[in-house]
């Protein structure tokens, strides 16, 4: 319970996810899919997450908890900048439960990732945002993030990926 003069962020803690969090991570992913109107694209399963996140260690997850209850997550991994000659952190997803937004939790999680990037000698922290997501765009710009309008993301998936791999 928040006391009258208590800041909600004082009850907010961030921890690294472990294999016991797989079900929770999938719930957050599905919540994000709903928010982004992309639920039909969420095909992740608990087993896929268990394998890729905790056995193969292809990405990392942090969980944000408010008063001991999970309220958000961030999934990230290292990339590499040839121009910088340094690794970076790429934030794949950041999600805070709708009823918990506006309390500074997302900002705290991004600051945590920035701190990790600095500790790991990374040259940058970056992410993508859907162009219609004005609340997030304003939020990111308020933190000093800059949109890279001169870049276009390309993606190959499914059958086209298999075709490309075959040559």
Q: What residues are labeled active site?
A: 140
* Alpha carbon distances (Å) from 125 to 28, 37, 56, 129: 22, 25, 22, 14
- Residue 144: burial class (beta carbons within 10 Å; 0-12, 13-18, 19+): exposed
Encoded tokens for 49: 């997450």
């Amino acid at each position: 319970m928040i006391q009258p003069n208590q800041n909600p962020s004082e009850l907010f803690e961030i921890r690294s996810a472990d294999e016991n969090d797989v079900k929770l991570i999938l719930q957050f992913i599905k919540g994000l899919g709903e928010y982004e109107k992309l639920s039909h694209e969420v095909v992740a399963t608990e087993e896929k997450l268990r394998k890729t996140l905790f056995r193969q260690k292809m990405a990392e997850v942090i969980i944000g908890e408010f008063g001991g209850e999970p309220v958000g997550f961030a999934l990230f991994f290292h990339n590499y900048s040839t121009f910088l000659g340094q690794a970076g952190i790429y934030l794949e997803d950041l999600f805070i439960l709708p009823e918990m937004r506006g309390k500074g939790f997302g900002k705290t999680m991004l600051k945590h990732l920035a701190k990790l990037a600095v500790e790991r000698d990374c040259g940058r922290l970056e992410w993508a945002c859907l162009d219609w997501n004005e609340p997030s765009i304003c939020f990111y710009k308020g933190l000093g993030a800059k949109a890279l309008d001169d870049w276009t993301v390309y993606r190959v998936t499914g059958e086209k990926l298999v075709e490309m791999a075959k040559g």
